[in-house]
């Protein structure tokens, strides 16, 4: 579903991303770990079409992002560290607006059911987003992904700043989305969360994907050791 082929991004002399080869299948959650500056956000931005690769390609559902950015955006949902929403609109109104941008028109009760699926408590659906906690805003981001029927979900440090319970709930919902066939690529600094939620974990260093590990085959402690040895 998500495929990087020799994907490279250079800034002057510096290789932010060096010939990345990676395939993430439907229903799979892939977590990218790596120090600040390792190339995680660059990878995500290439899939989003926010930056043009210097070489190689990123494709989604077999379609090249660089050649067909409008088409590939239809397959995608993106959750950054802080989901940007309109603070004066309610959760439902934000969801209505962002799903309409993606070409979907839903009744209020359908919008409400997407927010519930994303784990947002019913009492919050009609409240202004300006009063939401960070975790509640992230859940609206998930609801947008559900409403867009995204085939691929890209997340950049989505649980940073969430309390452990909110982070755990977030992971549960990611797993449900994956079970329904979504391919998930998540950049994170949270080794424990990566181990808990992902099927495979990649460790990046200086633009290179240096290890890819099956999450079932490693404990959180072993993963931390491997991470520290790698970066």
Ligand X SMILES: Nc1ncnc2c1ncn2[C@@H]1O[C@H](COP(=O)(O)OP(=O)(O)OP(=O)(O)O)[C@@H](O)[C@H]1O
Largest Cα span, the chain: 53
8 Å CB contact between 52 and 66? yes
Q: Are strands 152-156 and 183-187 parallel, antiparallel or unpaired?
A: parallel
8 Å CB contact between 75 and 61? yes
- Minimum Å gap between C-beta 169 and ligand X is 23
Sign of CA dihedral 35, 41, 47, 51: negative
- Position among 22, 34, 185, 198 found at the interface with ligand X (CB under 6 A): 34
171 sits near ligand X (criterion: CB under 6 A): no
- Minimum Å gap between C-beta 36 and ligand X is 3
- Minimum Å gap between C-beta 16 and ligand X is 3
Q: Say whether 215 sits in a helix, a strand or coil.
A: helix
39 sits near ligand X (criterion: CB under 6 A): yes
Residue with tokens 């797993």: 175
40 sits near ligand X (criterion: CB under 6 A): yes
In the complex with ligand X, the residue whose CB is nearer, 22 or 143, is 22
- Minimum Å gap between C-beta 39 and ligand X is 4
- Position among 8, 41, 99, 182 found at the interface with ligand X (CB under 6 A): 41
Query: Which spans of this chain sit near ligand X (rule: CB under 6 A)?
Result: 11, 16, 34, 36-42
């Amino acid at each position: 579903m998500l495929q990087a082929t020799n994907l490279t991004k250079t800034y002057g002399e510096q290789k932010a991303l060096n010939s990345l080869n990676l395939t993430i299948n439907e229903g799979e959650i892939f977590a990218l770990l790596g120090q600040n500056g390792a190339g995680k956000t660059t990878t995500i931005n290439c899939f989003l079409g926010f930056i043009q690769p210097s070489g190689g390609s990123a494709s989604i559902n077999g379609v090249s992002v660089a050649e067909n950015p409008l088409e590939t955006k239809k397959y995608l949902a993106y959750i950054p560290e802080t989901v940007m929403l309109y603070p004066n609109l309610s959760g439902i109104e934000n969801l209505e607006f962002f799903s309409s941008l993606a070409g979907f028109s839903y009744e209020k009760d359908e919008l409400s059911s997407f927010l519930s699926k994303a784990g947002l408590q019913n009492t919050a659906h009609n409240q202004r987003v300006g009063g939401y906690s960070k975790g509640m805003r992230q859940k609206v981001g998930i609801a947008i992904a559900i409403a867009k029927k995204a085939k691929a979900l890209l997340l950049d440090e989505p649980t940073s700043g969430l309390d452990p319970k909110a982070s755990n709930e977030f992971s549960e919902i990611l797993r449900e989305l994956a079970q329904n066939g979504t391919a998930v690529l998540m950049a994170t600094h949270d080794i424990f969360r990566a181990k808990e939620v992902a099927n495979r974990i990649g460790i990046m260093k200086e633009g290179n994907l240096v290890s890819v590990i099956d999450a079932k085959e490693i404990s959180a402690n072993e993963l931390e050791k491997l991470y520290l040895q790698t970066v």
